[in-house]
Amino acid sequence: MASSKTPETLDFVVVSNRLPIDAKPAKNGAEKWVTSPGGLVAALQPVMKGRTAAWVGWPGRVDIDLEPFSLASTHYFPVALSAVELEEHYEGFSNSTLWPLYHDVIVQPEFHRTWWETYKKVNQRFADRAAEVAAEGAFVWVQDYQLQLVPQMLRKKRPDLQIGYFHHIPFPAYELFAQLPWRADILHGLLGADVVGFQRKTDASNMREAVRRNFGYSMQKPMVRVPLRATPPRNRKAPPVTASKTREVMVEAFPISLDVQSSAKLASSDAVVKRAKEIRKELGSPKTMFLGVDRLDYTKGIRHRLKAFGEMLQEGTLKAEDAVFVQLASPSREGVEQYRELRDDIEQLVGRINGDFGHLNRPAIVYLHQNISREEMMAMYVACDVMVVTPLRDGMNLVAKEFVSARTDHRGALVLSEFAGAADELDEALIVNPHDIDGLKEALADAAAMSAAEQKSRMEHMRKVVVENDIKRWATSFIDAVKPPERKRRR
C-alpha cells in the first residue's frame, strides 16, 4: 500500500494514540486498513491533506510490529502495543480511569497503580518515536488524553521542538480532577507544551485552576508562567513559585471543527441525495425520521433519548405509524466492561420499545450496531427530519457540526445537549438538558412540528457559524499560537 519512500525526519508531526487507519486482519493473512472511529480522526484527516507530515500512532492491533509506510503526503509511523499494554494503557488508564473521570464521573473511574505505570511507559514510547521522526525545530502536535505526558517527555529530549497539545475531550472541574492520585504528574506533563488547547473556555479555565491549586504558578490568562526547572511536586498544595526563569505556556480554547466544504459537497452529490430518498422509502416514508449517530459510549446519552422517544409513543404524542427513530451506534471499546454493559442495556431498551410499539413492516426504532460508510452516513443526515445529539458530556461532538454541514437544503432540526462543546456555537439548535426527560420530550415534539420557515432560519444561522469556523481555521489558529507567524514574531 505504500506509495512513496518514507523520509527519516519531518517538520510537521502529529502524535495520537490511534493512527487514522486501523490494521484489521484480512483473509490472505495481510492487513486490511479501515478508517478509525471517532471525532479526532475525522477532524485531523483534512488537516493532513496535502501537507508533508508524519503521523505517529498505534495501528489498532496488538503485538504487530509494522514498518513505517506512506500514503500520499502523509508518512505513518506505527507504535506497537502489547496485549498487556492495550489492557493497562488503553482499556485501563485511558478508558477506565481518565475517560470517566474527565466526563464528570458518569461511571466510576478506577485508579490502579499498575495501569499508571503502563500509561507512563507507553507515553514514553510515543515520545521517543516522535523525537526520532521530528526534524530540527519541527512542530509536533500531540493529541488527546491518552498521551498527556508526551509534551514534557518530548521537551526533555528535544528542547528545540515547538510542541502543541490538543485535548479533544472535556477537562473536568477541579473537585473531580483532584481525585486523580497522579494529578500533578499529568499537569506537569501537559505543561511541557507551548500551547495546551481545549474545546471550551471552561475546559481551559479548569486546567489553569488545577495548575494554580497544585503548583501556585503565576498566570495572566491565557498564559501560565512555568519555571524552567519545573518538577511535579507531590500531591499537596505547593507554595507559590517565585522562580525568576520561566517559560510561558498558553492554556486556551480552540473549538475544533471539520471540513465543512467537503461534507457539504458529498451531501449534495447526486448519489447521496438519491440514497437519502431511498432511505426514507425503505423506512416506509415516515412523517418524521429522528436520527442518532454515535459511538456506543455511555457519555452519549443514547439511553436518555430512546427513553424519551419510548415515552412519547406510550403517551401518544408520537405514533409509530408516523415516526421512526434510526439509531446508529458504532462499536467501541468492547474490551471495557462498562461498554459491554451499555450495549446490553441499549439493546434491551430497543427490544422493549419495538416489542411494545413496532409494526410487522416497521420497528419503532431501527438500531444498527455497525460501522457504516461516510456516504451512507451523509445520506442519513440528509434523509432525517430531526437530528438528536444528547450527550451527558462531550468535548465537542462533531456529529452535530457534520449534520449542519450536510444540510445544504436548509431543512431539518437539531436537538442538542447543552453539555456538548458544540452547544457553545450552535445556539440556534433546540438546546436540551438530556437528564430532563420531560424537557427532552418537549424538544423532540417541537423539532418534529417545526415549520419549514423556522427550520430554514435556524439552519442558515448554524451553517454560517460552521462555514466560518471550519477545520482550516481551527488548525491555522492553533498552529499560529504555537508558531507565531513571522510578522507577529518580529514585533
Contact residues for ligand G6P (CB under 6 A)?
Answer: 18, 37-40, 144, 168-169, 332-333
- Min dist. Cβ of residue 403 to ligand G6P (A): 17
Are 45 and 75 in contact by the 8 Å Cβ rule? The answer is no
**Spatial separation of the C-alpha atoms in residues 490 and 296, rounded to whole Å:** 49
User: CA 124, 128, 133, 139: dihedral to nearest 10 degrees?
Assistant: 50
Nearer to ligand G6P, 101 or 448 (CB): 101
Q: Say which residue the cell 485501563 belongs to.
A: 92
Nearer to ligand G6P, 38 or 439 (CB): 38
**Spatial separation of the C-alpha atoms in residues 185 and 483, rounded to whole Å:** 26
Nearer to ligand G6P, 290 or 478 (CB): 478
Query: Which DSSP state fits 98?
Result: I
Residue nearest to ligand G6P (CB): 38
Q: Say which residue the cell 433546540 belongs to.
A: 430
E strand spans, 26-88: 31-35, 53-58, 69-71, 74-78
Task: Report CA 408 to chain centroid distance, whole Å.
Answer: 24
Nearer to ligand G6P, 327 or 332 (CB): 332
Are 23 and 60 in contact by the 8 Å Cβ rule? The answer is yes
**Spatial separation of the C-alpha atoms in residues 192 and 220, rounded to whole Å:** 18
**Spatial separation of the C-alpha atoms in residues 380 and 374, rounded to whole Å:** 10
Nearer to ligand G6P, 44 or 260 (CB): 44
**Spatial separation of the C-alpha atoms in residues 2 and 68, rounded to whole Å:** 9
Q: What is the Rg, in whole angstroms, of the alpha carbon atoms belonging to the chain?
A: 23
Active-site positions?
168, 394
**Spatial separation of the C-alpha atoms in residues 251 and 257, rounded to whole Å:** 19
- Min dist. Cβ of residue 60 to ligand G6P (A): 8
Which of 167, 142, 195, 260 has the alpha carbon at shortest distance from 480? 195
Nearer to ligand G6P, 143 or 288 (CB): 143
